[in-house]
Amino acid sequence: MRAEILALLRARADYVSGQELCERFHVSRTAVWKAIGQLKKQGYEIEAVQNKGYRLLVNEDIFGQNELESRLETKWVGRPLFFHETIGSTNTEAKLLAEKGAGQGTLVVADMQSAGKGRRGRSWSSPSGKNVYYTLLLKPDFAPDKASQLTVVMALAVAEGLQKVLDAGTAEKVGIKWPNDIVVDGKKVCGILTEMSAEQDYIQYVVIGVGINVFSQEFGPELVDKATDIETISGQRISRSKLLTAILTSFEELYELFLGTESLAEMKERYHKLLVNIGREVCVLDPKGEYRAVAVGITDSGELTVRMSDGKTQNVYAGEVSVRGIYGYV
């Protein structure tokens, strides 16, 4: 009920009477009073005026279960939602929930991770009160070889969600470095890690973990030239809850487009508009030998198409790609 009360108070510019809250949620005045009190303890400024009711005042950044649930506009993504002040890893927790029978759309969110994970087993710095960490559980009914495309779907959702909450000037600087890094003005603000449990021809579940640098923070010497955060690059202190729910709304739409063709065909044009690699020289770190080419775009299945010096094109299926001018590559 607390999330529903929050959503109603946020939607109203004026006071909401206690009687209306009682009638809407079929509870007593005492229950409403207790719910309002619990919200105040969570940091919400709620003004109570006799004979007028309750009014929600501006709250800069409250990141928690009730705030997120009150902002959700999705049909199934983020339902249910599990919020943790501190957790080892949202990906690990989501996988444990999947093993216990949790359904598609289950979302694990944390304010802090003590054992955050990045690609190739790297650790992911996850301080509290600064960033957004979440993992979405999916149980798709398609072949395992298509699961890697979900990373591209999530990358596009994150980029579009960011654009919705940033000012126009900064939104124009949001881009995607193939396949799954979100950059703003040429520096990384987000990483995505997709993991799957599958049989030979059957996916048991997929978890997509995302970490977004939101508020001003310091980066170590190995990252200072490559990474940044939203507040530093934009000068804006955005709501983490508003950002996450915007991303989830975008993902739900994009995922349903993906299911229609089991490919990226329906969203490829949107992805290309944000792809920083297009038209740039890239350095492909292929196991057979490093080479340079110019990025053309992505295929319907998410590979990066590059044009070689002889004019021929080929698709990059694996390996890291460095882009001239991005992450310090010269």
Write the DSSP symbol of residue 263.
S
**Mean pLDDT confidence for 250-266:** 97
Is the pLDDT at 186 greater than 60, yes or no? yes
Domain boundaries, given as residue ranges, for the chain: 2-56, 65-273, 277-323
Q: How confident is the model at residue 124 (pLDDT cuts 50, 70, 90)?
A: low
CA distance 234 to 238: 10
Range scoring the smallest mean pLDDT among 18-22, 42-46, 133-137, 171-175 = 42-46
Per the confidence metrics, is the pTM higher than 0.85?
yes
Average pLDDT on 51-79 reads: 90
> What confidence tier does 326 reach under pLDDT thresholds 50, 70, 90?
confident
Residue 327 binned pLDDT confidence (cut-offs 50, 70, 90): confident
pLDDT at residue 221, as a whole number = 80
Q: Report pLDDT digits (tens) over 232-247.
A: 999 999 999 999 999 9
88 pLDDT above the threshold of 50:
yes
What's the pLDDT at 156?
98
277-323: CATH topology: SH3 type barrels. (2.30.30)
Size of the chain, expressed as the number of residues it contains:
330
Contacts of 96 (CB under 8 A, 6+ apart): none
For the chain, give the percent of residues with pLDDT over 70.
95
Write out the two tokens for 44: 């919400």
CATH class of 65-273: alpha beta
Tokens found for residue 297:
């775009």
d(CA 73, CA 122): 33
Compute and round to an integer the Cα radius of gyration of the chain.
Answer: 22
pLDDT digits (tens, 9 = 90+) for 260-295: 999 999 999 999 999 999 999 999 888 888 899 999
**Residue 154: C-alpha distances to residues 259, 279, 297, 309 (Å):** 14, 23, 17, 32
The CATH code belonging to domain 2-56 is: 1.10.10.10
Name the pLDDT band for 330 (thresholds 50, 70, 90).
Answer: very low
- Strand positions, DSSP E, the chain: 46-49, 53-56, 81-87, 107-113, 131-138, 174-177, 181-184, 187-198, 203-213, 281-284, 291-298, 304-307, 313-316, 321-323
Q: What percent of the chain has pLDDT over 90?
A: 73
Computed over every residue of the chain, the mean pLDDT equals 91
